[in-house]
Chain A
Amino acid sequence: MGTLEVKPPVLAIGPLAWVRKNLFSTWYDIGLTFLAIWLLYALLKPAIEWATTEARWGVIEANLTLFMVGQYPRSQIGRVWLTIFVLAGLIGLSWGVWKNAARGFALIALSAGAAFTLIALFYQWDIWTQWLIAEAILLIFYFMGLYLPRGTLIAAVAWFLYFPFVFLVIAGSKNIAALPPVPSNLWGGLLLTLLLTVVGNFGALPLGILLALGRRSRLPVIRYFSIGYIELVRGVPLITILYTAAILLPYFLPIDMRPEQVIRAMIGLVMFEAAYQAENVRGGLQAIDRGQYEAAHALGLNGSQTTVLIILPQALRMVIPALFNSFISLFKDTSLAALIGLFEILRIARSILAQSEWLGTHREVFLFAFIIYWLFNLAFTYGNRRVEEALGVGKR
């Protein structure tokens, strides 16, 4: 019996095989490929033509500072840089202290800083020095972090203090001569967007935890109150809540209390976000095994001790990804503050479009805003994934 000769398969590997397998495997696959190529061509060709010839990108360069900080007094802009420098130091410190867990994020920050330096150098803006300083600070703190005793504790406390610090620096105070107060109606741009996001999230978390516990309470009055609040807020659009905060809030306060618009928006965002975070936390609470309650009870812990010491730490760890997702969606939702008159990125974009020399540059300005939001969301999503890995969510 002669040996059966099997020829080696043609095109099993290599780029052509890849093309054949992934683009031209069946007749409808071929059709789909051509459809996709045609779609790409139809969409990209005019877009690229427009971006390279017709578009007036000068509008971005001319208004970059406005995009970043809005009407923040130009003489005080060093304060914004200060917060960036401190942030760079913190990232460097975390990298040195936590090593692998923070390395990816630090490298992203480092390359972003390098990119900003190069862009600034390319366009001959003088801010390249500041970005270079930020890079240097990051690296210096990295080496410090490597040799710092009790580094993890210091880094954790420093991160915790960072947000109050940013507020103090941005808002200023009458008592500190170096930091004269800057009224909140001058805050704007990306700065305001980020402030709203951070306040909205971290302000809502305690309220959200209380509501989640309330919803699972055995006391009917508290339970129904929590359910009512959560369902009411989740059933109406965010804009109605912001509108309520902006217009109705003064009616509910004593006559001499008239909070600034930014504060009203923050209150609205906190009230909104609390309901969503309550539902996230509730998911975590429901996932806790009964045995945990029983074990705590057997050890002689009372109800509140069980909740604070046993249940909440586990539940919160479990819902960190969900909380991160809320964080990201609140970052997008802060754009609605534009509708109640806050000069965050979107409102800044609208105000740039009203400048007489940049009439009709809607696409350029909106695309730039798109890019800002998109890049930040990429960074947040990446951070989320790293945190999930570090905590071993779904693996432990």
Chain B
Amino acid sequence: MATSSETPTISLREAADLLGGDALFLDVREQGEWDLGHVPDAVHIPLGLMEDRVADELPDREREVVVYCAHGRRSLAALATLRALGYERSRHLTDGFEEWEKSGFPVVVPSTLEPDQRRRYSRHLLIPELGEAGQRRLLEARVLLIGAGGLGSPASLYLAAAGIGTLGIVDDDVVDESNLQRQIAHSTHRLGDPKVESARDTLTALNPDVKVKAFNERLSSENIDRILAEGWDVIVDGADNFPTRYLVNDASVWHGIPVVHGSIYRFDGQATVFQPGAGPCYRCLFPTPPPPELAPSCAEGGVLGVLPGVIGSLQANEAIKLVAGIGDPLVGRLLLFDALSATFTEVALRRDPDCPVCGEHPTVTEYIDYAEFCAAR
């Protein structure tokens, strides 16, 4: 029988030689550390739970045990507990797991994705910038779509396919025949149905991982705070009128939620990201809506059916980047797309210190319900 005078430490190399044998590796770090990676086949008992759980997890006190933590301090405390409980053949890894990992010894990262999710999102998991951690962020994300129309259709389809965990959709409209030339979340057999219900069925059929929260109501100063209070990481603005654009902007500044903005007209589209604090807001660009007589009539204007597909997809791209925390979002940049010449042009957007909402001395401090003057129905 081993005695307590036997050296209680073990080096990285010696420990690695024990992998795959009878020795048991015991990880005493916290859950969040364990989740990021651990020694293959290790048993996990956080240091604070050692005395409660070690007898159940390690019934054989004669077994060789290698206990480790991040840097070798907690494992030293755990070693004292183990030896006091009679685990005479326990040793601790003095260099700790961080050195183990840096030295290139085997590490496994426990998966929190279900097997069917690993298959569904396999093409995301293969991208180093996303991987499992990125996919988990998408699955935990909450994105609110304003409008389930031309822009909202492609944006919501791609966000659902990507596995955004919760999608909110605000729209009070019903599916009309004239929508189907471009609003690809809806189908001929849904004519007359509320768009939020039609979209919810399409999106959950595409991906059952996605929870769709439907708001079958028109966004107004009365309901916007209630809807935003449900907590959203990103707003995708695909509204079809100026009053809603300004409501969404002012609310996003006050609630501190980034807005992925898109708009379309005939062959021309534009997209940008308004991120409160980091860049300009919509009112930095256009402090007030144009007077009704000068505003283009959306209904008369028309739109090429594929155009919202381009712009809405760009919006989904920006929303995914914001949620995953990757890449350079379109903050302070407005991307203009001309479908006829097939060209993208970028212009710089700057924060306006005199902006009536996000400027140094704001003059707009409560919601304004501008008169409706562009109902694209």
Q: Do A and B come from one complex?
A: no
Seen from chain A, the residues whose Cβ lies within 8 Å of a Cβ on chain B are none
Seen from chain B, the residues whose Cβ lies within 8 Å of a Cβ on chain A are none
